[in-house]
Amino acid sequence: MSQQTVTIVGQGYVGLPLAQAASRNGWKVYGLDVTESLVDSLNDGHSHVDDLDDSEIQEMLTSGYSATTDPSVIADSEVVVICVPTPLADGGSPDLGAVKGASRTIGDNLVAGTTVILESTTYPGTTDDLVRPILELNSGLVAGEDFQLAYSPERVDPGSKKFGIKNTPKLMGGINDASTQAAVAFYRTFVDEPIAMKGMREAETAKLLENTFRHVNIALVNEMTKFCKELNIDIWEVIRGASTKPFGFMKFTPGPGVGGHCIPIDPNYLSYEVRNQLGYPFRFVELAQEINNSMPKYVVDRVSEMLNEHRKPLNGSSVLLLGVTYKADIADQRESPAIPVADLLQEKGAHIRFHDPLVDSWKLASGDLVREDDLDKAVEEADAIVVLQAHDAYDLDRIASTARLMLDTRGVAAAPAVRL
């Protein structure tokens, strides 16, 4: 039997690990991307995502993987998977420009018998109402008859040592049963548990429910953090106690806000679709967004309060930010709550610097922020330290013992650090 070919459109944090999984399991993989410099770098054996190192890219290349900007490879592929970004536009509405562009490119090169799968997170109905018409118009083919069409949400957990593509159950729903089974057949070659869904809309909505669930529960514990402080209740002890219940409770912890490619973005897709299709708000999601978006200001207010207790104003004080990525032990800064925290501190007149073992440079709207290379010296000189991300590289107990003042927004450090 000849080797089967898959083209994965988009070689970012979703598409590149997917390409690795497929190439390790017998597929010839084309990584199609519009960024020529990225394609050249991948073909030279260099990784740009946290979860893959250079040696793994080189292993992929020897297994038949190649990155390309040439869309003609689509015509040689049994399967095409769309893994492009779906950010929010400036007004907060979904920006599906990359999905539309990928669909046009695929349609222009699509041949009968191909299976097309969308993995990008989006609102319910996107695959059927947006992707399908573009594919059909540009190819002259009919979805479900001439080619198969399905949706399978990505479930990448960047930086996770426990869960990867192989051992994370994978949902998929097609435009018809044949499309669903075609998607199952593809993913079964490298995923332990492919799960067939009733249809594409159910698969699309399941992904949004997963992340909205997390978003709402983070907002709940963030709101409780605020009023527990006012009532002189230790929220971290409350969470520790509640977590001993072996049923009916799931632990969530407060923080400086939410960040990354999923939690701040995905619930907005669900909220948008409810308003757009039904004409009324998804109040739970919108309230959670409001609460989580308020946390950077709450952090800055706490820093100001701590300094005032020691007769120092925030204006003119030196503040050191530790950990500016959105998640511990990865370098990804997308939507990091450290960004609004830094912006607000600067607005209040604080002199801010940062340290992060995974970030060499950090650019804000106001310009590049000074990175402290000597952590011990920076801790010694700062009027206040704010722990925004608890990377494993940090010995936060030791830092707390030498810092003048330290606010730990992650609840990791021991006294004398002040927890959020």
In the prediction, which pLDDT does 1 show? 53
Distance of alpha carbon 195 from alpha carbon 220, whole angstroms = 31
In the prediction, which pLDDT does 396 show? 96
Bridge partners (DSSP) of residue 196 are 172
In which residue are the tokens 């998640």 written? 327
Backbone angles phi, psi at 305, to 5 degrees: -65, -45
Of the residues 84, 118, 235, 262, which is catalytic? 262
Distance of alpha carbon 335 from alpha carbon 342, whole angstroms = 13
CATH of domain 212-418: 3.40.50.720
In the prediction, which pLDDT does 113 show? 98
Distance of alpha carbon 142 from alpha carbon 65, whole angstroms = 30
Dihedral angle computed from the Cα positions of residues 149, 155, 156 and 162, in that order, rounded to the nearest 10 degrees: -140
In the prediction, which pLDDT does 395 show? 96
Q: Are 31 and 5 in contact (CB under 8 A)?
A: no
In the prediction, which pLDDT does 89 show? 84
Within the chain, which residue ranges are assigned CATH 3.40.50.720? Answer: 5-198, 212-418
Q: At what angle do helices 266-278 and 283-309 cross, to 10 degrees?
A: 140
CB atoms within 10 A of CB 374: 10
Both tokens of residue 381?
Answer: 């000189």
DSSP state of 75: G
Q: Are 360 and 368 in contact (CB under 8 A)?
A: no
pLDDT tens for the 420 residues of the chain, in order: 578 999 999 999 999 999 999 999 999 999 999 999 999 999 999 999 988 999 999 999 999 999 999 999 999 999 999 999 999 888 777 899 999 999 999 999 999 999 999 999 999 999 999 999 999 999 999 999 999 999 999 998 888 889 999 999 999 999 999 999 999 999 999 999 999 999 999 999 999 999 999 999 999 999 999 999 999 999 999 999 999 999 999 999 999 999 987 888 888 888 888 888 888 888 999 999 999 999 999 999 999 999 999 999 999 999 999 999 999 999 999 899 999 999 999 999 999 999 999 999 998 888 889 899 999 999 999 999 999 999 999 999 999 999 999 999 999 998 888 888
| Domain spanning 5-198: CATH superfamily | NAD(P)-binding Rossmann-like Domain (3.40.50.720)
7 Rama sector, left if φ>0, alpha if ψ -120 to 50, beta otherwise: beta
Both tokens of residue 353?
Answer: 């610097």
323 Rama sector, left if φ>0, alpha if ψ -120 to 50, beta otherwise: left
Whether residue 262 lies in the annotated active site: yes
Backbone angles phi, psi at 398, to 5 degrees: -65, -40
Residues in the chain: 420
Distance of alpha carbon 130 from alpha carbon 99, whole angstroms = 9
3-state secondary structure 162-202: CCCCCCCCEEEEECCHHHHHHHHHHHCCCCCCEEECCCHHH
Q: Are 151 and 127 in contact (CB under 8 A)?
A: yes
Distance of alpha carbon 66 from alpha carbon 104, whole angstroms = 22
